[in-house]
Amino acid sequence: MLYRQFKQLLDRQRNPELSQLREQFERLSKGLKLPQGVQMENDDFFEKEELLLKIKASSSKELLSQLERLRDCLDQSEMEAIFRMLQG
């Protein structure tokens, strides 16, 4: 745990802009309140203008429910802000 915190501190000092982007992405993605079982990932260095969504579902009914809740997330301002951030 201490090693991870130390590494994060060094990363922030070495790459302050990248660290700021990562923190902003984390804050915005948490604000979306994605459904349980849905994860949003991005390129670690923000070189790609795309997102990766991972959805875990154990039935078609569960998948449909997650997709419907995910649809609600698309209308939130955080989602637009994430794509603007990825596009530079």
DSSP of 20-36: HHHHHHHHHHHHH-PPT
Residue located via tokens 């604000």: 31
Mean per-residue pLDDT of the chain? 91
Cα separation values, 59 from 23, 36, 80, Å: 34, 14, 30
Kindly report, residue by residue over 7-39, the tens digit of the pLDDT: 888 878 888 999 999 999 999 999 999 999 999
44 pLDDT higher than 90: no
53 pLDDT higher than 90: yes
* 57, amino acid identity: A
- Count the domains in the chain: 1
Going by pLDDT thresholds of 50, 70 and 90, the confidence category of residue 50 is very high
**Exposed, middle or buried by CB within 10 Å (0-12, 13-18, 19+), for 68?**
exposed
Domain with 19 in it? 2-86
